[in-house]
A and B are shown apart, each in its own frame.
Chain A
Amino acid sequence: MSSLAAAPVAHAHHDERPFVRKYIFSTDHKIIGIQFLFLSLFFLFLGGILAMQIRWQQGFPGQPMPGGGILPETMAPGGLLLPEYYIQLVTMHGTFMVFFAIMPLLVGVYANFLIPLKIGAHDMAFPRVNMASFWAAFLAGLVMFASLFVPEGAARAGWTMYAPLSARPDLSGAGLGQQLWCVSIVLLGLSSILGSLNYITTVINNRAPGMTWFRLPLSVWALFVTAILGLLALPVLSGAAIMLLFDQTIGTHFFDAPAGGQVLLWQHLFWFFGHPEVYILILPAMGMVSDLIANGSRKPIFGYHSMVFAIIAIGFLSWLVWGHHMFMSGMNPTLGSLFMVTTLVIAVPSAIKTFNWLGTMWRGDLHFHVPMLNAVAFVAMFVIGGLSGVFMAATPVDMPIHDTYFIVAHIHYVLFGGSLFALFGAITFWFPKMFGRVMSERWGKIHFWPTFVFFNLVFFPMHTLGMGGHMRRIYDPTVYEFLKPYQPMNRFISLAAFALFATQFIFLANFVWSLFRGKKAEQNPWRDNGLEWSLPSPAPHGNWERVPTVYRGPYEFSHPQAVEDCLPQYVKLPGDPEPAGAKGAAG
């Protein structure tokens, strides 16, 4: 590769730390990212298992679940799921997926792994704080996982933990499980805050010379704004979880209406955190998809600046829309209409991003490699999920569909169809830089197509169920006369869900196989422009011997002056001005 001749020098000296410092209590941002990857893939799998049990109960109520015999009598006697266990399932599925799978996958893995590599830093600004962030998340995960095994069972108030059900053990019937949920969330909040302050400081202060703000890859922009959201939203949740914990244990009355507390206060606190959280779960996916689509289209991203401003606008507006989760809670209707307007407004920057992705692909030299396939699926699925989001933003529409399967369909279209497809793409794309091997392209495609098909078969009919009034967390739909006609559809969804789950084993097998037996990766297997591709695969400890100098933006594909169709950020063409040293990096 001639154009890579000027590549900056990687860290050459051998890394001589002992195993424990290198892979377990590591302060290297790449190792921490990989630790987060394994942790969150475990919880993703666990959340999937819980989802399968939910689907069994919905599709085949009253029939013993195959393999349900291994569950204890208190959960599923004879394989028949109990209602008390079912509500734990939906609660813990949501909790695991949102807090321990998607959020760490996007932020824990990719903010850690990509930010220093893409901005040209040796490591995070505070490597030890970064390690603390992982171990706090690990502890949080352990506590949440342990809560599945306590005698009364796990938390039972839904992943949103609405008071008073969550605040009063006599109502929920799960004292310890609820308390462990709160403790775990406080720990997770700590982890996120430590992580976020690291990401923000690193992006602001530690960019390589020439890496001005408007030369940052969109993935870094998205992760940066996400970090700001996490930094400011998670403490609110931690505070709320602490108040909830006090309500359960030492008898305070924050959410206890008879003693003057306000149940709506919990909802305000939770969603004041919760809506920025929604964007924490989608913004990094949007950013990474922008990178993948530009790479797959071999074209500069369409409207880079508008993409950046859209990310910032989404980040800002996400603080003004939380009330749309509460239209049916009996909150102040004047406030409700304000929230309706702001929610409709937030569709604008999202639409700008969507059209920019389409504009990028338009007349591009499309290469449908696995990351690109997943990225395109992200765009398509996000549009469906985003549009149903606009439905719900309108109060009159929200009233009948609130708390129905329509909402379930929407959240899964944006979180599974959106974030998770983006993650499949991102995992495949950066796998070489993480592990030095390439994931199998063939098995990646074999995984992608059934996942895409079954995903739609599972979640699209849920819109119909929701319009028919199928409530969200009910135990047995067949006891309602008006839901009986929908039971065949429910059963169909369940069968498709089992197939969807089974398909994920292809991904798992591909992942594990490639880890040990995959093709050795070359330095720049995707012919991409980011700084991380100037390093050998896998990237060495300490990254660069000397940080690279950045000469241009990250999306210079098919550049007329370049020999190949990519022109990396670190390659100096004749006539490129030399950026000022460390001072010039202030941008």
Chain B
Amino acid sequence: MTHATATANAMRPPFPTERGVEAYNTKLGMWVFLASEVMFFTGLIGSYIVLRFGAPGEWARPGIVLNIPVTAFNTFLLICSSVSMVKAYAAIADGNQKMLKVWFLLTILGGAMFVGVQIYEYLHLVHSGFVPSGVREGSELAERVANGTLPAATMGLYGSTFYTMTGFHGFHVTCGVVSMTYLFFRKVLPGKYTQQDYRGVEVVGLYWHFVDLVWIILFTIVYLI
């Protein structure tokens, strides 16, 4: 916190505070923010469900367009980075600065690799002809549509929903990686978090686990169903 909020913060009891819902401000604020994020993804995922339910014909079967092994690896990465995040939290709760740094850095690396793999995945998909508007003319996938392996009628919806949902999830991961990197250099490395006050780790952790949670849902409904 900078001097801008110092006035207000000085008046508040030190962490941990027990007022209202017995969660300190930033934690409560993050939960409230996550509630709004749930509604944002409800809009996107709900649209996908509604569109797929009312699609004019069969949806492409899983595993034909999308590269499942790569994404499965990516899912694994995100789960690992989620567990490393919670290990970082446990480390600082025990007052272990060294393990906090290790686990926190691993979390950032996991998140960054996830974004990297997703970019790789996108590049390959676009190369094979899978674009947000559907299937690109004259591409490898266009041939599959022509020979009937892929349904022509729903490929447009497939591309629209796939790129919007995974794209916004990737955007959230990127935001998480950026803010964790900032925290790492500003707070974790200088040892600003202590066993008495590690609010930032908990709050950014909440966001990070939420992003992981959304991916768990997305992976199942987009890639496997």
Note whether A and B contact each other (Cβ less than 8 A). Answer: yes
Besides A27-B5, A235-B42, A254-B51, 17 other CB < 8 A contacts? A126-B29, A193-B36, A197-B33, A200-B32, A205-B17, A236-B43, A243-B47, A246-B160, A251-B131, A252-B156, A252-B164, A254-B157, A254-B160, A261-B160, A262-B51, A265-B50, A582-B17
What total of A-B pairs shows CB separation below 8 Å? 153
Residues of chain A within 8 A of B153, CB atoms compared? 260
B43 A269 Cβ-Cβ under 8 A: yes
Q: Which of A563-585 contact B (CB under 8 A)?
A: 582-583, 585
The answer, yes or no, to whether B55 is at the interface (CB within 8 Å) is: yes
The answer, yes or no, to whether B18 is at the interface (CB within 8 Å) is: yes
Chain B at the A interface: mostly helix, strand, loop or mixed?
Answer: helix
A205 and B133 in contact, given A122-B7, A260-B156 (Cβ under 8 angstroms): no
Task: Kindly identify which residue among A204, A239, A261, A586 contacts B51, using a CB–CB cutoff of 8 Å.
Answer: A261
Chain A positions near chain B (C-beta within 8 angstroms): 27, 122-123, 125-129, 193, 196-198, 200-201, 204-207, 231-236, 238-240, 242-243, 246, 250-254, 256, 259-262, 265, 268-269, 542, 547, 582-583, 585-586
B40 A123 Cβ-Cβ under 8 A: no
B36 A197 Cβ-Cβ under 8 A: yes
A235 B25 Cβ-Cβ under 8 A: no
Q: Smallest Cβ distance from B83 to chain A, in angstroms? A: 27
A265 B20 Cβ-Cβ under 8 A: no
A231 and B157 in contact, given A125-B25, A205-B19, A250-B133 (Cβ under 8 angstroms): no
The answer, yes or no, to whether B146 is at the interface (CB within 8 Å) is: no
Q: Smallest Cβ distance from B3 to chain A, in angstroms? A: 10
A252 and B7 in contact, given A126-B29, A197-B33 (Cβ under 8 angstroms): no
Residues of chain B within 8 A of A193, CB atoms compared? 33, 36
- The docked-state distance in angstroms from the alpha carbon of A239 to that of B171 is 13
Chain B residue at minimal CB-CB distance from A544:
B11
Interface size class of B (residues with CB under 8 A): 35 or more
- The docked-state distance in angstroms from the alpha carbon of A127 to that of B6 is 10
Q: Which of B6-44 contact A (CB under 8 A)?
A: 7-8, 11, 13, 17-26, 28-29, 32-33, 35-37, 39-44
Q: Smallest Cβ distance from A5 to chain B, in angstroms? A: 24
Chain A residue at minimal CB-CB distance from B4:
A27
Write 11 A-B pairs (CB below 8 A) sorted by A numbering: A122-B7, A125-B25, A200-B32, A205-B23, A235-B40, A236-B42, A239-B43, A250-B133, A252-B156, A261-B160, A582-B17
Chain A residue at minimal CB-CB distance from B22:
A586
The answer, yes or no, to whether B159 is at the interface (CB within 8 Å) is: yes
The answer, yes or no, to whether B200 is at the interface (CB within 8 Å) is: no
- The docked-state distance in angstroms from the alpha carbon of A245 to that of B154 is 20
A260 B43 Cβ-Cβ under 8 A: no
Task: Kindly identify which residue among B19, B41, B168 contacts A586, using a CB–CB cutoff of 8 Å.
Answer: B19
A235 B157 Cβ-Cβ under 8 A: no
B39 A125 Cβ-Cβ under 8 A: no
Task: Kindly identify which residue among B7, B39, B156 contacts A259, using a CB–CB cutoff of 8 Å.
Answer: B156
The answer, yes or no, to whether B54 is at the interface (CB within 8 Å) is: yes
Q: Smallest Cβ distance from A468 to chain B, in angstroms? A: 38
Residues of chain A within 8 A of B176, CB atoms compared? none
- The docked-state distance in angstroms from the alpha carbon of A125 to that of B153 is 50
Chain B residue at minimal CB-CB distance from A585:
B19
Residues of chain B within 8 A of A197, CB atoms compared? 29, 32-33, 36
The answer, yes or no, to whether B95 is at the interface (CB within 8 Å) is: no
A206 B160 Cβ-Cβ under 8 A: no
- The docked-state distance in angstroms from the alpha carbon of A586 to that of B19 is 5
- The docked-state distance in angstroms from the alpha carbon of A204 to that of B29 is 10
Residues of chain B within 8 A of A123, CB atoms compared? 5, 7-8
- The docked-state distance in angstroms from the alpha carbon of A443 to that of B37 is 46
Q: Which of B81-137 contact A (CB under 8 A)?
A: 131-134
